[in-house]
Amino acid sequence: MAEPIVRIDSISKSFGAFKVLDGLSMQVMPGEKLALIGPSGSGKTTILRILMTLERIDGGHIEVEGEQLYHMERGGKLVPADERHLARMRQKIGMVFQLFNLFPHKCVLDNVTLAPMLTKGVPKAQAQKRAMELLDMVGMADKARAMPAQLSGGQKQRVAIARALALSPRIMLFDEVTSALDPELVEEVLNVMRRLADETDMTMLLVTHEMGFAHDFADRVLFFDRGRIVEEGRPEEIFRNPKQERTQSFLKKIIAAGHRV
């Protein structure tokens, strides 16, 4: 059996007095598509943010591709990682945000080429060629010269996906990527993600409230509540036949709120 690509070992994280994660452990296998669901404040987004190094952990260890994320070896001892180590580890990971976070002062094409040119020294022509391929894949090639402000939410999010892909990450993190979209724009983003899941062997972690999409997309679903994994399993098990009372009541509320499963 293959080694996990991500190994999270009893991490904890507090914001002030609020303990978001409390001794959480989980593993992700290479190529796995994982959906993280649960009520807000349950810590699922925090896990993605910790993996992207946007938040530091208070305790525990994380391994990505067998290497410590927040620690490094020096003189046979594990010490906190320095910025160089973090930068090297970040190359393995890409993230798409709820609010897109496109660079508003740069056109679509420059949003996608910026990081490869700056961080990997890719020549401009080559970066642009690759960016156009990615924009074509997300259906945004004809908007390459548009500014982000001229795009709809769904278009922005598709560009953001292309931007994250441009760095060829091994792991992609999707943080509620359709939550800020008008309902009629959700599907165009989900379609891009389906294609991505079908055509690549990238490992994908998805925090979502789209239960129908999570059901179709994920190999495994984790239900979070109060910083712990309450229940996990194949989507059909979790959605059709949840065992834990808390999972059941969460799904009931979600369905009552009009989300389809």
Regarding 70 and contact with another protein (CB under 8 A), the answer is no
Strand pairing category for 67-68 and 59-64: antiparallel
Strands, E assignment, 142-227 = 171-175, 203-207, 220-225
Regarding 114 and contact with another protein (CB under 8 A), the answer is yes
Contact present, 214 and 177 (Cβ < 8 Å): no
Kindly tell me the burial class for residue 89, based on how many C-beta atoms sit within 10 Å of its own C-beta (0-12, 13-18, 19 or more). Answer: buried
Residue from 10, 54, 123, 126 touching another protein (CB under 8 A): that is: 54
Residue from 132, 137, 141, 167 touching another protein (CB under 8 A): that is: 167
Cross-strand partners of 221: 35, 233
Quick one: 29 or 180, whose CB is closer to another protein?
180
Regarding 94 and contact with another protein (CB under 8 A), the answer is yes
Strands, E assignment, 111-188 = 171-175
Q: Which stretch binds another protein (CB under 8 A): 86-94, 134-142, 216-224, 242-250?
A: 86-94
Quick one: 76 or 121, whose CB is closer to another protein?
121
Question: How far apart, in whole angstroms, are the C-alpha atoms of residue 60 and residue 63?
Answer: 10
Regarding 179 and contact with another protein (CB under 8 A), the answer is no
Quick one: 114 or 137, whose CB is closer to another protein?
114
Q: At what angle do helices 124-137 and 108-120 cross, to 10 degrees?
A: 130
Number of residues that bind another protein (CB under 8 A): 27
Quick one: 5 or 229, whose CB is closer to another protein?
5
Quick one: 103 or 124, whose CB is closer to another protein?
103
**Token output for 57:** 């952990």
Contact residues toward another protein (CB under 8 A) are 52-54, 83, 87, 90-91, 93-95, 97, 99, 101-105, 114-115, 118-119, 147-149, 163-164, 167
